[in-house]
Every structure is written in C-alpha cells, then in structure tokens.
Amino acid sequence: MFKFLKDKINNFKSVISNTTQSLVGNVLLNVDDSDERYSEFTLDDIEDTLISADLGVNYSTELVDNLRKQKNAKPSELKNYLKEEFKKTLNEAGPTELNYKDNELNIYFITGVNGAGKTTLIAKLAYKFRQEGKKVLVAAGDTFRAAAEEQLNIWSVRAGADIVRRDKADPASVVYEAIQKAKSEHYDVILVDTAGRLQNKFNLMEELKKIKTVIDKQAPESLRESILVIDANTGQNGLQQAKVFGECVNLTCAALTKLDGSAKGAIILAIAKEMKLPVKLIGIGEKMDDLKAFNADEFIDALFS
C-alpha cells in the first residue's frame, strides 16, 4: 500500500485543537465529576454544546437520550462515554483506507461544491501518487471556468501528472478522452475534477450523472472511489450538500478539507453517523504535502488525550 496512507500526522493534536475544544473541552465543562448523576439541566446543556460543535441535532440528541435512559450514568464517565460512542460511529462507517488496485487503472471521481477544495485535493493526490512512482492523468472536468482549468493545469504539471483538458467542452467528453488515453498509454490513476455550481443544481447533477455513466461504460471495473469533498468549516451545511451529491453519484467516501484551524471537525462524525460514509482523506493546509490519510484511532486519540 501507499506510504502516504501510512504516514502519521505530525502535531495532529494541534491541527485539531479547535475541534477538540468545541467537541470535548466545552462538553466536559458542563459536568462536575463529583456529581452522582446527571440533572436534566446538565443533560440539556450537554446536548446544546454537542450541537454547537456541529455534531448534528439527531446524533447529539441520541447521545444524550442514551445517558438519560441509563439510570446509573455517571458524569465522571462522560469523557469515556463519548470516546466509545465516537469510536463506534467511525467503525460503523467502514474502513478509512483509500482503495487502490495494483496493475490496474484506478479512477477517482471527485465532487463537491465550489470552493470546497476539489482542485487542490486533486493536485495533492496527484503529487502523492507521483511520489510513489505512479503514472497519473488528470481529467479537467470543470470546463465551465477557464481559470479553474488553468489552475488545475499548473498544479498538475507541478505534480508531474498529465492532463486532459478541452475549453468549454462537455465534461463527460473530457472524461471519455481521458479514459481512452489512460487505457492506451497504461496509466495507473485518473483523477476526475468536476464543477461545483450548486446555483444550478439540476444541470450540475445531470452533468455529474453523465460523467458517472461514461466511467461505468468505458471502465466499469476502474472506479475506485467516488469522493465527496467537504470544507470542514461549512459544518452542517456540508452534510446537507453531501445528501444532494449522494443522490446522484454513488459516493464511497468523503474528504474533509481545511481541517487546519477549524473548530467544526466534528463533521467527520456527523458524516459517518448520518451518511454512513467514511472520511478517508483530510486536508490540513494549502501545501502539496498537506493531504493526509484519515485514521480513526489517531483522530480519537488526538481528541481525547
């Protein structure tokens, strides 16, 4: 497997310190360890604090209702309770390792709203794959914005990847061309960039479905991951977006960008709980090297240590 998927994150604790504060620190402020049991007042405060941390209303309510039902639940055990529940939620969403098959074509289909960080994620992924000697092709499927294509071009060249781009062309035809090229020239990886204009939701969703159909027809065994890119700072809005995209492309995982500095990293848990989607990649900065594999144990350890 890829080295970059095994790399530990330096200072992960400090990267997610704002999330830790809002999700664990602030919640624990509601309880006094010496209390024998939870008061109704305390339970309400815990629920509000979890919701403010962007864990989502349903999940927050469920966690607190569980405490309410357990007559022996002790405030001094709140930290451990949350830790075990969060672990369970992440486990249930499935494995977090990015799928890749050696000696085959691997296609990664990247979607998400404008500004979420798709193009940056593709550049970083291209860079990581290139570093491990893979032959990488980028399909510039955001043909609407010339600037977007140019940005992708610069990044791809810098990463040492090749690119298929055609100004103003139908994105599905760009992807078609990329697949033909990848097959005849034996590429290991295709990264498909897409547009994200939610203002015209119907057209965007049709465009994405069309790309998906091209991949399914031209390379049915090759779609390795369908990745939804979410900006950590969008919190619950990000989750709403996930639902819209999930209805038209079969998402297999999420990538959470801009986790650096964000206080809303709890969205990782909300995505796992509500969408049953594992977060597999996290963006922790703007540099090429600032893409990391998400590891549930590492995340839980950093949150609760």
Ligand X SMILES: Nc1nc2c(ncn2[C@@H]2O[C@H](COP(=O)(O)OP(=O)(O)O)[C@@H](O)[C@H]2O)c(=O)[nH]1
Binding site for Mg ion (CB under 5 A): 118-119, 148
Q: Which residue is nearest to ligand X (CB)?
A: 283
Minimum CB separation of residue 33 from Mg ion in Å reads 48
Q: Are strands 162-164 and 279-283 parallel, antiparallel or unpaired?
A: unpaired
Comparison of 20 and 60: residue with beta carbon closer to ligand X: 20
Which of 63, 67, 109, 112 is in the footprint of ligand X by CB under 6 A? 112
Number of residues assigned to the chain: 305
Which of 114, 131, 153, 233 is in the footprint of ligand X by CB under 6 A? 114
Comparison of 140 and 268: residue with beta carbon closer to Mg ion: 140
Comparison of 191 and 270: residue with beta carbon closer to ligand X: 191
Comparison of 60 and 119: residue with beta carbon closer to Mg ion: 119
Comparison of 217 and 287: residue with beta carbon closer to ligand X: 287
Give residue 143's identity as a one-letter amino acid code.
T
Q: At 206, give phi and psi (nearest 5°).
A: -65, -40
Strands (DSSP E) found in 156-300: 162-164, 189-194, 223-231, 253-257, 279-283, 291-293
H or E element: which one contains 165?
none
Minimum CB separation of residue 146 from Mg ion in Å reads 12
Instruction: Tell me: does residue 222 bind ligand X (CB under 6 A).
Output: no
Give the contacts of 194 (CB within 8 A, at least 6 positions apart).
109, 110, 111, 118, 141, 142, 171, 207, 208, 211
Which of 117, 171, 235, 265 is in the footprint of ligand X by CB under 6 A? 117
Comparison of 201 and 217: residue with beta carbon closer to ligand X: 201
Minimum CB separation of residue 119 from Mg ion in Å reads 3
Comparison of 89 and 257: residue with beta carbon closer to ligand X: 257
The answer to whether the CB of 283 falls within 8 A of the CB of 39 is: no
Q: At 132, give phi and psi (nearest 5°).
A: -100, 25
Instruction: Tell me: does residue 115 bind ligand X (CB under 6 A).
Output: yes
Q: Kindly list the distances between the CA atom of residue 186 and the CA atoms of 50, 141, 178, 182, 189, in Å, as whole numbers in the listed order.
A: 49, 21, 11, 5, 9
Instruction: Tell me: does residue 7 bind ligand X (CB under 6 A).
Output: no
Letters for 157-196 (x = contact with ligand X by CB under 6 A, - = none) are ---------------------------------------x
Give the contacts of 291 (CB within 8 A, at least 6 positions apart).
4, 121, 124, 125, 127, 128, 281, 282, 283, 284
| Tokens read off for 28 | 């624990």
At 103 the three-state DSSP class reads coil
Q: Which residue is nearest to Mg ion (CB)?
A: 119
Instruction: Tell me: does residue 238 bind ligand X (CB under 6 A).
Output: no
Which residues sit at the interface with ligand X, rule CB under 6 A?
Answer: 112, 114-120, 196, 229, 257-258, 260, 283-286, 290
